[in-house]
Amino acid sequence: MSRLTETLIIDKYLRPLIQDVDHSLNINDDAAILPTPPKDHFIVVSKDALAVNVHMLASDSPYDMAKKSIRVNLSDLASMGSKPLGFLLALCLSGNEDESFISDFTRGLKEDINTFNIPLLGGDIIKKEGAFTVTVTAFGSVNKEYILKRSDAQINDSLWVTGTIGDASLGLKVLKNQIITLSDNDKNFLIDRYRIPQPRINFINKVAKYLNGCIDISDGIMSDIRKIAISSNLKCHIDIDSIPKSHAVLSAIDNNNSLHEVILNGGDDYELAFSSNNKNDNLINKIADEEGLKITKIGYFTEGKGIELNSLPDHLEGFSISGYNHT
């Protein structure tokens, strides 16, 4: 197999992914050119760096690593109500990767480039002793009338979340053999949710005009909702029992009550928490149904600041919000 060089990676694996994208100039130039967004639209930019043994496990496949690196950025774009325009990719190789690693990685890239219509615009490759790291800078476009920010929740807004919460944090525990009393189907479901997030781009692009505040849930649902409340200078009242959980998470909790705290503080869900006026409930539910997406109302906003947890079960007495630490 050929020696792994920057030229080989670009010419054989990355260039074919972008050869039909006009504004990338086929990565022959020193920089990419983004098209001017439509009138009354702004550019939205997100960057996330993912390193092995911090955000990914060494046992994760390069295919899954590629997908996760794109999708966590897409989740950030979604939280702002934007549509993807393209992304830049920076790879820091540890020196342990071979050509099969790059082949599998770019296979994952190609699938998500097509799935989410987000072209690769260019990037950089270096080699440095340490952990394999992938950094993605994603660009999106948003109508200035429908920009979503975590600071825009309003008094009497309802608080909603997409999908189910806690799957990823328990999936990581399954991979670390810290949860063993689950069926294989439940274990595999949780692992998939940890390795490959599901950015809610399509849903948010259709529903943004009806929303106020929004944030993506990457650092733990309690920590991220508190960010909305504090940024909006409001108090958010959360019904703990209403937080949506998958069958796999419910099974895990049945076996071990202490996992409830992990679900509330654990990261990597990459779902969305958003606020909206109650008059929009029917429209929001209709769009979610059309997308086949589960959404759940779990709280509301009032005057005040911070969060208040309602119906806290006995086994969570003394619960404190810590959030997920990526360092």
CA–CA dist 176, 183 (Å, integer): 16
Residue 1 pLDDT: 46
Give the number of other Cβ atoms within 10 Å of residue 220's Cβ: 25
| Sheet-wide strand order for 214-217 | 214-217, 271-276, 158-162, 295-302, 235-239, 306-310
Q: Which CATH number, 3.90.650.10, 2.30.110.10, 1.10.10.10, 1.20.120.450, labels domain 158-316? A: 3.90.650.10
Tally Cβ neighbours within 10 Å of residue 253. Answer: 18
Q: Give yes or no for a contact between 161 and 272, defined as CB atoms under 8 angstroms apart.
A: yes
Class of domain 6-146: alpha beta
What distances in angstroms separate CA 120 from CA 15, 71, 145, 259, 260, one per listed residue? 9, 13, 28, 39, 39
Tokens standing for residue 265: 């503080």
pLDDT by residue for the chain (327 residues), tens only, comes to: 457 888 899 889 998 887 555 554 456 677 887 777 888 999 999 999 999 998 999 999 999 999 999 999 999 999 999 999 999 999 999 999 999 999 999 999 999 999 999 999 889 999 999 999 999 999 999 999 999 999 999 999 999 999 999 999 999 999 999 998 899 999 999 999 999 999 999 999 999 999 999 999 999 999 999 999 999 999 999 999 999 999 999 999 999 988 999 999 998 999 999 999 999 999 999 999 999 999 999 999 999 999 998 877 666 666 677 765 554
Domain ranges of the chain: 6-146, 158-316
Answer for the pair 251, 183: CB distance below 8 angstroms, yes or no: yes
